[in-house]
């Protein structure tokens, strides 16, 4: 939520800030702004409601602002509607401080009332303005003193970038529970919510930890902890190419990322299987630990949670241990039953989702061991978990996740197989067959993608439906949850995913002549049961789009109106193939409807507020 960027060096800052913001727009995009300090020009602030392109036009792509130090922001509104005045940077009444913020200042009302009682007048509805005004209130000439006193009063989550007109030779970066990195260059330094904003300029980055304050000058960075003690921050090298975060000829990032799935899944799987056995880096789970494990608790949000839903079926089947899947936002406040023998499996593409991070910390506090499946190297969840399994999906930019989902699923399979082989809950042959099927998955994903025109055709028939149902049983139900979410996220069509057997306990009342039902029937043991549910909705006039494996397509076609077929794989792996036509379906429906596919309304990719 919200992206922040800062630059201090010898060049004009504004074009660099705008370029950085263009790479952070996935974090929020209802308004944007920059503040730049230049000799003779003072502090220049331009901010505007709307997409970044509005700001680019207002500033002539940054050329209208002069100065070599500045901060920028792209917003996902929490406090105060999207508007020019609520956009960041927020500026103190005396015009001395410009502040960009990601997170929420939870005690902002109390601070605002305190400052108002001292005569300070506020202009915005944001929580962030209290930071700028507090800085002014405490400022007596010493910037660090004012920052220190201000931070003492703040409660909540924040990543801050601060520029002071009296000290234009420095930028201040502060991190508390919201991600922030520092990019280190020769003769310039940057701050940003994530590495995508700085990678064009430098690959050397430091990840700030909670409570840390970084002072950036043109020539270097000094980091202090909350007690103002100097901290030696390690510098990490980011080794992926900038092209990985660009569209590469596709109309949308989502299309590019859908098409990248075979390659991403291959990268995630291939190095981790040797001679039929799974070898996972940095993961040591002894047979005794796994034998004594009382429960596997899966904690995640959004699509990562949907991966968890598939994982429950897969892991319970492979391990015969209870698996509980819970939404991170619920886990935190449900007094969860966790023991030292509980393994918490945390799934997060970004590694920064605040609810998932907080739930992970709670699980740790309660004594669980925490294993995280994460895509972003160096993210907070990756750094704080006891063990990390990376999904090698590369940067994912589209708000609607596709390749991250697929690679998370691949890691779940690897994990399940690895545990099952260690525990002896699968035979040698069963294990080898699953390993072989896993290695064959990327090739089968390519086959699914080759037939994307079929899905495009169905999308052209269905894009005007006001409401679409997804039904399935077992693994098909879990995949349906993701298919339904993808559709509503980007096409704004109302959609529900239902366990097919549950439909008649209420929701079938919504099926009327012409209602579109997407019936998932790839889980062969329950094919006939699912087909009974298809007949039930057909009897009430539903139009049915079936999704099944090639060998069952003809049978399904006898009842369904249309059928999309995917290749058959090991039954537990089938979700990996089934999800792809559903992603494509959502994509093509949204395309037909003229939606802003990569930046759907009201959403953000990285949700760093509760």
Beta strand 204-207 with 213-217 is unpaired
Task: Give the nearest distance from C-beta 606 to ligand G6P in angstroms.
Answer: 6
Q: In terms of CB distance, is 128 or 349 closer to ligand G6P?
A: 349
Query: Which CB, 256 or 605, lies closer to ligand G6P?
Result: 605
Catalytic-labelled residue, pool 2, 164, 301, 595: 2
Residue 2 is among the residues annotated as catalytic for this protein: yes
Phi and psi of 77, rounded to 5°?
-60, 130
Binding site for ligand G6P (CB under 6 A): 301-304, 348-350, 353, 356, 399, 401, 603, 605, 607
Based on CB atoms, which residue is closest to ligand G6P, 353 or 515?
A: 353
The nearest distance, CB 30 to ligand G6P, in angstroms, is 15
Pick between residue 44 and residue 303 the one whose CB is nearest to ligand G6P: 303
Phi, psi of 219 (to 5 degrees): -100, -5
Backbone angles phi, psi at 420, to 5 degrees: -65, -40
SS3 of residue 373 by DSSP: strand
> What DSSP line would sit under 526-540, residue for residue?
GHHHHHHHHHHHHHT
Q: Which is nearer to ligand G6P, 176 or 304 (CB)?
A: 304
Smaller CB distance to ligand G6P: residue 68 or 399? 399
Q: 575 vs 209, 301, 375, 425, 594, CA distance in Å?
A: 37, 19, 20, 22, 29
Q: Per-residue b/e over 379-396, b at no fewer than 16 CB within 10 Å?
A: bbbbebbebbbbbbbbbb
Specify the residue, 301 or 318, whose C-beta has the smaller distance to ligand G6P.
301
Bridge partner list, 371: 345, 387
d(CA 122, CA 248): 45
SS (H, E, C) 4-30: EEEEECCCCHHHHHHHHHHHHHHHCCC
Identify the CA nearest to 604 among candidates 256, 280, 350.
350
Cα angle vertex 177, ends 325, 395, to 5°?
70
CB of 303 to ligand G6P, least distance (A): 4
Closest separation in Å from C-beta 260 to ligand G6P: 16
Determine the residue with CB nearest ligand G6P.
Answer: 302
Cβ at position 603, least distance to ligand G6P in Å = 5
605 noted as active-site residue: yes
Residues 6+ apart with CB under 8 A from 126: 79, 80, 86, 88, 90
In terms of DSSP H, where are the helices of 366-465?
A: 380-384, 403-423, 428-450, 452-462
From start to end of 481-610, where are the E strands?
A: 494-499, 516-520, 543-549, 562-566
> Where do the H-state alpha helices sit in 180-293?
253-259, 261-270, 287-292
Please report how many Cα atoms fall inside a 13 Å half-sphere around the Cα of residue 222, on the Cβ side: 8
Distance separating alpha carbons of residues 270 and 603, to the nearest angstrom: 34
In terms of CB distance, is 266 or 605 closer to ligand G6P? Answer: 605
Distances (CA, A) of 608 to 118, 176, 393, 414: 32, 11, 21, 29
- Catalytic option among 233, 267, 599, 605: 605
Q: What residues are labeled active site?
A: 2, 605
């Amino acid at each position: 939520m919200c992206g922040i960027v800062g630059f201090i060096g010898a060049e004009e800052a504004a074009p660099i800030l705008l370029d950085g913001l263009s790479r952070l727009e996935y974090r929020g995009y209802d308004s944007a702004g920059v503040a730049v300090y230049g000799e003779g020009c003072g502090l220049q602030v331009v901010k505007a409601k709307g997409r970044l392109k509005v700001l680019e036009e207002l500033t002539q792509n940054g050329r209208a602002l002069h100065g070599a130090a500045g901060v920028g922001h792209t917003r996902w509104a929490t406090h105060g509607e999207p508007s020019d005045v609520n956009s960041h940077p927020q500026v103190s009444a005396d015009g001395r401080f410009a502040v960009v913020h990601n997170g929420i200042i939870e005690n902002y009302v109390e601070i605002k009332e305190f400052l108002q009682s001292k005569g300070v007048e506020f202009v915005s509805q944001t929580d962030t303005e209290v930071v700028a005004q507090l800085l002014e209130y405490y400022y007596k000439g010493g910037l660090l003193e004012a920052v220190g006193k201000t931070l003492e009063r703040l409660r909540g989550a924040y990543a801050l970038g601060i520029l002071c007109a009296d000290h234009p030779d420095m930028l201040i970066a502060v991190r508390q529970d919201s991600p922030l990195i520092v990019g280190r260059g020769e003769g310039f330094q940057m701050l940003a919510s994530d590495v995508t904003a700085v990678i064009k300029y430098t690959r050397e980055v430091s990840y700030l930890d909670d409570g840390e304050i970084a002072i950036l000058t043109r020539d270097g960075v000094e980091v202090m902890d909350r007690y103002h003690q100097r901290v030696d921050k390690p510098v990490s090298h980011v080794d992926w190419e900038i092209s990985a975060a660009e569209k590469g000829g596709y109309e949308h990032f989502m299309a590019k990322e859908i098409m990248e799935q075979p390659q991403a899944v291959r990268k995630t799987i291939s190095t981790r299987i040797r001679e039929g056995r799974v070898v996972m880096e940095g993961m040591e789970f002894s047979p005794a630990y796994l034998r004594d494990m009382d429960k596997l608790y899966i904690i995640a949000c959004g699509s990562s949670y949907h991966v968890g839903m598939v994982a429950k079926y897969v892991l319970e089947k492979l391990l015969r241990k209870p698996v509980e899947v819970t939404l991170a936002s619920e886990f935190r406040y449900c007094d969860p039953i966790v023991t030292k023998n509980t393994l918490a499996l945390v799934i997060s593409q970004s590694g920064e989702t605040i609810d998932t991070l907080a739930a992970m910390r709670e699980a740790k506090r309660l004594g669980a061991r925490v294993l995280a499946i994460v895509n972003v190297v160096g993210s907070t969840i990756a750094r704080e978990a006891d063990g990390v399994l990376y999904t090698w999906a590369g940067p994912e930019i589209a708000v609607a996740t596709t390749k991250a989902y697929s690679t998370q699923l691949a890691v779940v399979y690897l994990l399940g197989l690895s545990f099952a082989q260690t525990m002896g809950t699968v035979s040698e042959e069963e294990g080898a067959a699953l390993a072989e099927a896993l290695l064959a998955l990327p090739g089968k994903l390519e086959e699914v993608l080759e037939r994307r025109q079929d899905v495009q055709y169905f999308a052209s028939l269905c894009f005007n439906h006001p409401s679409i149902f997804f039904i399935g049983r077992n693994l098909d139900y879990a995949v349906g949850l993701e298919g339904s979410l993808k559709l509503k996220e980007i096409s704004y069509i109302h959609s529900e995913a239902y366990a097919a057997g549950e439909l008649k306990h209420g929701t079938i009342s919504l099926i009327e002549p012409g209602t579109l039902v997407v019936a998932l029937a790839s889980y062969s043991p329950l094919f006939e049961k699912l087909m009974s549910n298809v007949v039930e909705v057909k009897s009430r006039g539903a139009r049915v789009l079936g999704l099944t494996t090639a060998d069952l397509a003809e049978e399904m076609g006898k009842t369904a109106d249309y059928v999309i077929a995917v290749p058959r794989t090991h039954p537990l792996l089938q979700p990996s193939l089934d999800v792809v036509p559903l992603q494509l379906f959502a994509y093509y429906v949204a395309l037909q409807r003229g939606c802003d596919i990569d930046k759907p309304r009201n959403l953000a990719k990285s949700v760093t507020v509760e």
